[in-house]
Homo-oligomer: A and B are copies of this chain.
Amino acid sequence: MSRIHNFSAGPSMLPEEVLQQAREEMLDWRGSGMSVMEMSHRGKQFMSIAAAMKNDLIELLAIPDNYQVLFLQGGASAQFSLIPQCLLNGRTQAAYVNTGSWSTAAIREAGKYCRVQLAASAESNRFTHIPAFADWTLDADAAYLHYTSNETIHGVEFSAIPETGDVPLVCDMSSNILSRPADISRYGLIYAGAQKNMGPSGVTVVIVRNDLLDLAGGSVPPVFDYRQQADADSMLNTPPTYNWYLLGLVLQWLKTQGGIAAIEQRNIRKAGRLYQAIDASALYSNPVDPACRSRMNVPFVLADAALDKTFLTQAEQNGLGSLQGHRSVGGMRASIYNAMPEAGVDALIDFMAEFERTH
């Protein structure tokens, strides 16, 4: 068996230690005689797995007591629809910031439920920067302000949390949650699909401040209603139990790595070295304002696009997988989430240098 360095944007690579533990426990979780995926979600074994998973997330993110932590289904895309339905609370508009493909998708969906006030947009700049907070326009009547803390396709990431006064701040944190510290108390609601930094796909984490919980209207199916799921500890119906278990294993792994503060330092080193290699090269380039470059997703293009296919083929041959850029923007993309070891980034940098030397 030979494991590759997997740069997929999501679902994405997981720590090998997590996969090894899942393998060992596959037929018999700790003497229970069952796989975790065979356990009743109401049984004591699975309840203990679920509780540890939730507590580890609360600990790692330092989530304050006045927040509920929910584990739902449907992905971040379901939340694009559910957030306006749940948080408008009779208001007719919500503010959105457009920094790339994912905020664009959230805006498109919100427009079905309310007037979208565009507080800031980088669209005219082809999503290569983040508009300065001082230039944002935020209507005080907005039910909330929504932004995407990291854009996986355009490789743009916020390095600070926007200040929105009394307007609740809502964040799609799918692709950089747990990669850097975040002051949760600044947010009204955070949501994130698991399949980048937290585990396999199939779980959506929602962290919601208590005062926003009661706003959900009756038109949302109960399994997506924040209040009802909070009251049921996210078990209003059968949850995706094995996905919860794997998320829990990733969180335990993160704790053994020293938690978010330590993983952030590693992420800074990884991204720093890769951007440095790109900037120093004549063949590769990244268009994003250096102050807004993502630590998680590093898109880059080759000066000669005719070399793209050769680059990808030779990368695969060198054990570097899933480097093709998103179909909407082309080029290359290296996603280097928490689970990507520094050695994987170094192998990519070495390959890129060798490829440039020989082409």
**Which of A75, A80, A223 counts the most B-chain CB atoms under 10 A from its CB?**
A223
How often does this chain occur in the complex, in copies?
Answer: 2
Is A295 an interface residue when CB atoms closer than 8 A count as contact? no
Contacts of A218 in B (CB 8 A): 112
**How many Å from the CB of A289 to the closest CB on chain B?**
27
Is A1 an interface residue when CB atoms closer than 8 A count as contact? yes
| A201:B19 contact, CB within 8 angstroms | no
Interface residues of A in 178-226 (CB under 8 A from B): 193, 195, 199-202, 218-219, 221-224
Docked CA distance A30–B219 (Å): 45
**How many Å from the CB of A129 to the closest CB on chain B?**
27
| B75:A238 contact, CB within 8 angstroms | yes
Is A329 an interface residue when CB atoms closer than 8 A count as contact? no
Docked CA distance A290–B26 (Å): 38
| A238:B193 contact, CB within 8 angstroms | yes
Known A-B contacts A9-B40, A11-B241, A200-B242; A27 and B33 likewise in contact (beta carbons under 8 Å): no
Q: B-contacting residues of A (Cβ < 8 Å)? A: 1-4, 6, 8-14, 16, 19-20, 22-23, 26-28, 32-35, 37-41, 43, 73-78, 80-82, 109, 112, 193, 195, 199-202, 218-219, 221-224, 236-243, 246, 319, 321-322
